[in-house]
Chains A and B, each alone.
Chain A
Amino acid sequence: MTTQHIQVWINQISTVLDSPACLSDAIAAANIKPPFAAAVNMQFVPKKNHAVHPLKDGDKIELIVPVTGG
């Protein structure tokens, strides 16, 4: 049995994940450390749903961290 893959975009960088994949898999691939927040296809995904939010081929994921601001 061959492993299926999906291609997603994490902060505009192409990433291949084993399928099925959830948002937590993308976060692990990005090696991002807390605190951060996530959105998929412009929709916010709260932390409690990271492990259950399914990803599909072509999803655009934004992972953002706190920075200085005016």
Chain B
Amino acid sequence: MSTATDPLVLYGEVFQSRLLLGTSRYPSPQVLADAVKASQPAMLTASLRRQTAHADTSPVFWQLLKNMNVPVLPNTAGCHSVQEVITTAEMAREVFETDWLKLELIGDDYSLQPDTLNLPLAADHLVKAGFKVLPYCTEDLVLCQKLVDVGCQAVMPWAAPIGTGQGPVNPYAMKLLRERLSVPLIVDAGLGVPSHACQVMEWGYDAVLLNTAVALAHDPVAMSHAFAQAVAAGRQAYLGGAMQAQTSAQASTPLIGTPFWHQA
């Protein structure tokens, strides 16, 4: 099945790719642009920060973002309270001229774990304010269900803490989440290599959001392409339906007519 007949649908909008890509930590703007060209992501994440006179790269990034012509998903990275999230979201909507929002509400600075207790409250407010909220969350089933209950039409559980590249650290919970929730699930954070992405897509996850695994690769352009292929392969495998694993060997070549065979 091609992406044309199996698109990613979020909040009623159709995307031909199931890969979302972050824009941070690349060796240069040109490498970012080339990585985007190689992987053709559905969306690019971006953020907002105070302007600093000594390191003002914002105009360069803004122009690059315009040139790449990929839908932008602003985030609320660094927010530690619901009010910070709400204000940052409103500012992002004005700057980026989009209702899409990657909701980040950090509860622990060391692990960058989301504030799971206040996340539904923030999501509820933002959904009512007209945002298309994609919340970055843990793989906790009850949390994800509550995010859906307040109107999130997709959720984005982590596979592992941001930037660790560990891959899925809790496969049981992630597979359970897929079984129990019918909304699109996007793995956001913690993937390190394309096989991680392929794995979660085989489990039935709908998309993958990456940044560090591509940006810090030796060759980010090659890695972005590899991730795009892995995501597509995992999706095809999920649709194809994997065989049931067996505990003992089963010959794949027919036994009937085996030459030189004789009963002992």
Contact = CB atoms under 8 A, between A and B. Distances in A.
A66 B51 contact: no
A69 B58 contact: no
A66 B96 CA distance: 8
Contacts of B22: 68-70
Interface residues of B, number: 38
Interface in A18-48: 30, 32-33, 35-39, 42-44, 46-47
A64 B59 CA distance: 12
B56 to A, nearest CB: 8
B49 A70 contact: no
A interface, size bucket? 20 to 34
Contacts, number: 96
Nearest to A10: B50
A69 B51 contact: no
B47 A69 contact: yes
Nearest to B65: A66
Interface of B: 22-26, 32, 45-51, 56-59, 61-62, 65, 74-75, 77, 83-84, 86-88, 90-92, 94-96, 162-163, 211-212
